[in-house]
């Protein structure tokens, strides 16, 4: 299966970087073709420009600034997100990816004013993430990243496709043991992906 891994963390020595390496290694070991999209390493610009916003509903062409990312997304059969939760949301670079790449005609189309999902090529979706705070604190804020993955992204991909959300909460209080257990959970999930 062609798996697009979207990774969003700027520090190569972080726990998230270790999770990212585990994801890529395990997916490859399981025989998947992995398109490893490290948004920071690729210097992805998350800013939606004025021109992009004005032409948001226009058909995009091969000269578009994000055409390569659109092509990678449309080539994928599965999507794995690897990111930390900051301020109860995605890192800006990942949010900008969704703003600039999940375009009309790419992730959805408008039919009589109604949104119709178009990423039918995505048959599986997983998110691997970390939170500084507890699950309880995230729930008090309605856990926006979890909801975005489990509801919004789920609605843009193939209907009925499996979606998993693996989160390590309370990183501020984590230990070697809790981090090791989470890495093992992520590894097992990627082995079975």
- pLDDT tens digits for range 148-192: 999 999 999 999 999 999 999 999 999 999 999 999 999 999 999
Domains of the chain: 2-191 (3.40.50.360)
pLDDT by residue (tens digit) across 77-96? 999 999 999 999 999 999 99
Can you give the pLDDT at residue 113?
82
Structure tokens at 129: 């993430």
Residue 56 confidence (pLDDT) above 90? no
More confident residue, 58 or 89: 89
Can you give the pLDDT at residue 63?
84
> 157 forms bridges with which residues in the sheet?
119
Q: Give the percent of the chain with pLDDT over 70.
A: 100
Confidence label for 46 from pLDDT (cuts 50, 70 and 90): very high
**Coil, strand, or helix at residue 133?**
coil
**CA-to-CA distance for 78 and 121, rounded, in angstroms?**
8
Can you give the pLDDT at residue 128?
98
Which residues, in sequence order, are CB contacts of 51 under 8 Å at separation 6+?
none
Least confident among 97-106, 109-118, 180-189? 109-118
Residue 110 confidence (pLDDT) above 90? no
Question: Among 10, 22, 14, 3, which residue's Cα sits nearest to residue 128?
Answer: 22
**Coil, strand, or helix at residue 140?**
helix
Confidence label for 60 from pLDDT (cuts 50, 70 and 90): confident
Average pLDDT over every residue of 133-142:
90
pTM recorded for the entire structure = 0.94
Per the listing, tokens 């990312």 go with: 69
pLDDT by residue (tens digit) across 5-33? 999 999 999 999 999 999 999 999 999 99
Least confident among 41-50, 73-82, 102-111, 118-127? 102-111
Can you give the pLDDT at residue 115?
86
Can you give the pLDDT at residue 157?
96
């Amino acid at each position: 299966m062609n798996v697009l891994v979207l990774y969003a963390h700027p520090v190569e020595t972080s726990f998230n970087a270790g999770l990212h390496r585990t994801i890529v290694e395990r997916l490859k070991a399981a025989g998947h073709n992995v398109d490893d999209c490290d948004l920071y390493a690729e210097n992805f610009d998350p800013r939606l420009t004025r021109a992009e916003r004005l032409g948001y509903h226009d058909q995009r062409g091969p000269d578009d600034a994000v055409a390569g990312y659109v092509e990678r997304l449309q080539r994928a059969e599965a999507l794995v997100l690897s990111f930390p939760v900051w301020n109860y949301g995605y890192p800006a670079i990942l949010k900008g990816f969704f703003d600039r790449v999940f375009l009309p005609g790419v992730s959805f189309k408008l039919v009589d004013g109604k949104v119709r999902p178009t990423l039918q090529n995505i048959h599986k979706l997983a998110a691997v993430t970390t939170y500084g705070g507890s699950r309880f604190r995230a729930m008090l804020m309605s856990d926006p990243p979890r909801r975005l993955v489990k509801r919004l992204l789920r609605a843009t991909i193939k209907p009925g496709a499996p979606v998993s959300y693996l989160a390590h909460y309370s990183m501020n209080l984590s230990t070697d043991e809790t981090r090791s257990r989470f890495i093992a959970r992520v590894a097992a999930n990627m082995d079975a992906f």
